[in-house]
Structure 1
Amino acid sequence: MALTKSFKELVQRRVADDPAFAENLLREGIDTMLGGDVETGKSILRDYINATVGFEKLATATDTPRKSLMRMFSPSGNPQARNLFGVLGYLQKQAGVQFHVAPKPH
């Protein structure tokens, strides 16, 4: 299902106005991918990228062509681990956060 322009604009405004929302959106994208729902995780991260650094700046920072990044986070994209972790590392640095994987308590 394609997102409407108004929804994308809403996410962008919310990210710009609410740093906690932005951090949680990044966290949710990463958590969703780690939980096995790669499609949804990529979609969340694509929204986060569009609302924050943008694909052009991300391409420059990661030395990855913009179109490759856009494909990587598309529904049919299949990012290599090296590329994905490079992007996630950059996004965390830009956001001033560092996420760690930890087991859930039993």
Structure 2
Amino acid sequence: MKDRSHDEAMAELFKEDPAFAAEYLNQLLLDGEPADLLVALRQMAQARGGVRAIAKETELNANQLYRTLSPQGNPELRSLSAVLKALGLRLAVQPVGQHHATA
């Protein structure tokens, strides 16, 4: 049996189950660290041909995208939206908890 890295295993899982990938990102947004979200996006990019392929599809600079998707990255909303779109995902805004009606 061939050994593979955690990143490779996660990329394979994300490729095989896009619904899981979306739910995983949602969970990270709810209670994860920003660095974990960026690592997951990099793994998802790997599942779709790698960061260079995503950079080409999104017309973003590949070197900058590698830095953006690093644990220390800080993506701009435009870049994040472009990467998510290339991965077949999108940003969404949802209410947190219950809203209290004002009279």
Q: Per-residue deviation at 1:37?
A: 2.5
Greater relative contact order (Cα < 8 A, sep 6+): 2
Distance 1:23 1:70 in 2: 24
Distance 1:58 1:8 in 2: 17
Distance 1:71 1:40 in 2: 14
Partner of residue 9, structure 2: 10
SS of corresponding position for 1:79: coil
Could you tell me the percent identity over the aligned residues? 25
The answer as to 2:100 corresponding to 1:100 is no
For the structure 1 residues 70 and 87, does the alpha-carbon distance in structure 2 shift closer, same or farther, using more than 3 Å as the test?
same
Partner of residue 76, structure 1: 72
Q: Structure 1 regions of 5+ residues with no counterpart? A: none
**Which one has the largest radius of gyration?**
2
Where has structure 1 moved over 6 Å in runs of 4 or more?
A: none
Q: Kindly indicate which of the two structures has a greater share of residues assigned to helix.
A: 1
CA RMSD of aligned residues (A): 2.7
Q: How many residues align?
A: 96
Q: Structure 2 regions of 5+ residues with no counterpart? A: 99-103
Partner of residue 56, structure 1: 52
TM-score normalised to the size of structure 2? 0.70
Q: Which amino acid aligns with 1:55?
A: V
TM-score normalised to the size of structure 1? 0.69
Q: Per-residue deviation at 1:15?
A: 3.3
Partner of residue 20, structure 2: 24
In the alignment, is the contact (CA less than 8 A) between 1:12 and 1:51 conserved in 2?
yes
